Structures are given as structure tokens and as C-alpha cells.
Structure 1
Amino acid sequence: MKGRIGASSIVLIIKLLYLIHYYLRDGYLSWMEYLGLPIILLVAWWCGKQYDIAKFYSEKDTLTGIYNRRFVEAFVSSMFTKQNHKNFTILLLDVNDFKMINDLFGHKVGDQYLKAIAHQLEKSIRDKDLVARWGGDEFLIISQGVKRKECLAEMMEEIHKNLISVSPNELEISVSIGAAFYPNEGKSFDDLLKLADKNMYSIKSLKKQRNYTKHQTAY
């Protein structure tokens, strides 16, 4: 929307200055000048719309509508260029057994599920936090100003609670979440990602072991 409003505003101002100039010089304006104003505004609005579309697809994930990996990398890069950037935490989330959803219900249902997850994640975070689709069935959250692990635990609990409502049919699906704190656990974004990824897969492996043990016990 910014592109459409910006382009239309600039063109309108230039056109009005142009009309004022010729009115002061000649004392009148031809009907062609009046007719040209709405036409040129429509062209400017269309051009601005193309800019907005291009900007959306450069920053947002086309399936879920949340931010994409490219935007996150640019956002983090701008954070690190600031001398006094705040402490922050990254959460890396992976959907457990997501392949099972695609296999049992099809990829269309899987896509709908990813959209629902993205929506629930947006509901689970604060206004100043950022959520993005990192790739496939992985999501990433950047939470600025979170220092205490208690606060992080509350956020994770909220995420798990909200995601329960999007499980398709009677299949119980959950997420594994790995966290990393800046600057205590990493000085660069890559270091934080590696640690969050390691923590996430440790939790995922633990859940698989528990499910396997439960399955064996049932027999």
C-alpha cells in the first residue's frame, strides 16, 4: 500500500505544481489538463501497486504470509549494524512428524496446516517480536529484550497451547523448539542458529525416544 500511496502522492504534487505554473502563466487551463490528471494518477497507482507486490514477495512467504528467510537475514543484519542493539532470543521451531500429515492427508492439507501454524505463532508472540517461515516446516521467532528463561518458558508454553488447536483430524502434532540467547550464547546470528538448531533436534530426539518407549510399553 505504501508504494501506491507514495507514487500517487508524488505524481499528484508534481501535476498540481505543473497546473499552477501554467494557470499563472496563461490564466487558464485546457480541458486536456483536467482530463490528464485522473489518468496519470491511475497510472501512478498501478505502478505503485506493482512495487507493493514486488516488495511483498521479497519479504513475505507466499504460502503463509509471514516473513521469509530473506527478510530475517536483512533484519538481523540491520540489528547488528546498530551499536547498541538489544539482547534478543531466537527460537527455531520444527513441526514433529510433518511428513506424516502429507502422507496421510495430502500436501494440500499440509499447506493449510502450515498456514494455521503461522497464524497461531503470530498470536503467541508480542507485537515487537518477529515470526518467519525459515524453510519447509521450520519457523523462526526473534524475540527482543527477553532475558530470563522464565519469560521464554512462558512464550513456549503459549506456543504449544495455541498449536494444539490446529492439529488435523485426530492426529496430534506438536513442535520441537530450540532457543539461543544473544549475547550470552552466541555473538553472531550464525552461532545462535547453530545452537538453536542443536537444541531443537535434541528435544526432537528426546520426544521420539519417549514415543518409542510408550509404543513398546503398549505392547
Structure 2
Amino acid sequence: MGRIKRHVARKKLGVLVQKLESTIVKTIRKGDVVTKWDENKYVIVAIDNGHETSTITNRLMKNIESEIEGDLLSVTLLFGAASYPVEGKTFEELLRKSQNQLYQYRNLQENE
């Protein structure tokens, strides 16, 4: 019985991950690029939008919340974002800035 429950849970999780990935792709704008960085990490390179900081995380959260509303699984999402050229001029600087932001959010989450 335990194996069946684990199988069902893995299948539901797989469907949820597919929904999340699909929502990410639908949320980014033409010209933006998304790539899977690690098992459950994604990098989005957004074109300059004229804002001081990236607004993509707000759009992602809103769209993901509406997409998975009503699902029986609970999900915690953490985002890190950095905007060119305000927060960095090279890919490495932007990635480091967004990773630091992500880790700060994760630490806050763990301390709650």
C-alpha cells in the first residue's frame, strides 16, 4: 500500500512540475529566455524592461498561483531576480545577485 501511495504522490508531483514549467514558459515575454539550471531551479534571462528591478517574479507568482489553485499539493516557490544593468553588468554578476536573493528567501522561509 505504501508503494502505491508513493507512486501516486510522485505522479501528482510530476504533473505539478509540468504545470509549473508550462506556466513559466507562458509567463515570459517574447525575447526572454528560460532554461533549467538544476533539478528544480530555472534561470530566466529577461530583456531590459526599463524598470529598476525585475517584475517577472511578481508575474510568475500570480500566474503560478492561479494555475495550481485547487491542487491538493502544497508548494513553496522561491525566486531570485536581478535586472541588467541596474544590478549587474555581466551574466555572472546577475546570476550571483539572483542566487544571493534566492538563498536569503530560503533562509527566511526556514526560520519561520
The TM tier, using the shorter chain, reads 0.7 to 0.9
2:3 corresponding residue in structure 1: none
Structure 2 CA distance for aligned equivalents of residues 175 and 149 of structure 1: 23
Aligned match for 2:57, one of 123, 144, 156: 156
Aligned amino acid, residue 135 of structure 1: D
Contact 1:130/1:142 (8 A) holds in 2: yes
Distance in 1 between the 2:84 and 2:94 partners? 7
Residues 177 and 131 of structure 1, relative CA distance in 2, 3 Å threshold: same
Alignment equivalent of 2:15, drawn from 99, 109, 112: 112
- Structure 1 SS opposite 2:72: coil
Correspondences of 1:118-197 after superposition (within 5 Å)? 118-149=21-52, 152-153=54-55, 155-164=56-65, 165-166=67-68, 169-197=71-99
Q: 1:177 to 1:103 in 2, by over 3 A?
A: farther
CA RMSD after TM alignment: 2.6
Q: Which has the higher helix share?
A: 1
Over 3 Å counting, the alpha-carbon distance change for 1:104 and 1:202 in structure 2 is farther
TM-superposed deviation, 1:105? 1.4
1:192: Cα distance to partner?
1.6
Cα 1:135–1:207 change in 2 (3 A) is same
CA distance in 1 between counterparts of 2:102 and 2:37 reads: 14
Aligned to 2:102: 200
User: What is the letter of the counterpart of residue 158 of structure 1?
Assistant: R
Partner deviation per Cα, 1:47-73 (whole Å, 9 max, x = no partner)? xxxxxxxxxxxxxxxxxxxxxxxxxxx
Question: How far apart in 2 are the matches of 1:143 and 1:104?
Answer: 36
Q: Percent identity?
A: 23
Q: How far 1:121 sits from its partner (Å)?
A: 0.8
TM-score, reference length from structure 2:
0.75
Between Structure 1 and Structure 2, whose CA radius of gyration is higher? 1
Where does structure 1 lack aligned partners over 5 or more consecutive residues? Answer: 1-101, 211-219
Q: Deviations over 1:125-146 (max 9, x none)?
A: 2112112211101111111112
Q: How many residues align?
A: 106
Tell me, in whole angstroms, the C-alpha distance in 2 between the residues paired with 1:203 and 1:103.
31
